[in-house]
């Protein structure tokens, strides 16, 4: 593990100097290119900021109001026969919207059930097997100017469902 730490401490500065050196040797105005990229990045950030704030506010309101716990109790009649713990239901639905909010819910699961419990394992694997579908679609499609998403949403939701099933299955095998 220490070797990887030393290697990363060495490789990151080498990579930065390589990029700058290559730009200078290619007679590219390195700082001007950097400034143009930073300006373009700020333009994209300005474009996506309202969407980002809206998603974060929505998830925060759902979490603070207790709606997610109520929703998990309502779905318990469906999730119990499928052997999906009620504590994971909010994580499954919030993960589609926001990674940071889902991480907060997972930390709550760790506090309540423990990181080495079935719920802890399943929640951890769930975060790795799924994607923030609506966040990713809104940010990337807005930044790229894509208007017609075609089959992206159904495909992403199907992949998320597969990720949920696989994460629950993997957690049972641990």
Token pair 């779905």 is found at 75
Q: Where are the domains of the chain?
A: 48-173
Buried residues in 8-31 as b, exposed as e (16+ CB within 10 A): eeeeeeeeeeeeeeeeeeeeeeee
**Rounded to whole angstroms, how far apart are CA atoms 128 and 54?**
24
pTM of the entire structure? 0.70
**Rounded to whole angstroms, how far apart are CA atoms 73 and 25?**
63
Helices in 26-132 by DSSP H: which ranges? Answer: 30-65, 67-74, 76-79, 88-95, 99-113, 118-129
154, two tokens: 């159904």
DSSP notation for 56-69: HHHHHHHHHHTHHH
Cβ-proximal residues to 101 (8 Å cutoff; 6+ apart), any chain: 56, 59, 60, 63, 94
pLDDT string in tens for the chain (174-residue length):
688 888 888 898 999 999 999 999 999 999 999 999 999 989 988 888 887 788 778 888 888 898 988 988 898 888 888 889 989 999 999 999 888 889 989 999 999 999 999 999 999 999 999 999 988 888 888 888 888 888 999 999 999 999 999 999 999 988
């Amino acid at each position: 593990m220490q070797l990887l730490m030393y290697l990363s401490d060495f490789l990151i500065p080498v990579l930065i100097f390589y990029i700058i050196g290559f730009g200078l040797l290619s007679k590219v105005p390195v700082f001007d290119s950097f400034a143009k990229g930073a300006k373009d990045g700020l333009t994209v950030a300005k474009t996506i900021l309202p969407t980002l704030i809206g998603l974060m506010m929505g998830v925060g309101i759902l979490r603070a109001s207790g709606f997610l716990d109520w929703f998990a109790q309502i779905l318990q009649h469906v999730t119990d026969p499928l052997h999906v713990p009620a504590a994971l239901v909010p994580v499954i639905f919030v993960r589609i919207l926001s990674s940071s909010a889902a991480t907060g819910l997972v930390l709550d699961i760790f506090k309540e059930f423990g990181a080495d419990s079935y719920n802890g394992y399943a929640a951890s694997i769930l975060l790795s097997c799924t994607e923030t579908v609506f966040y990713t679609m809104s940010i990337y499609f807005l930044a790229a100017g894509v208007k017609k998403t075609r089959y992206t949403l159904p495909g992403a939701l199907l992949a998320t469902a597969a990720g949920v099933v696989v994460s629950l299955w993997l957690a049972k095998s641990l």
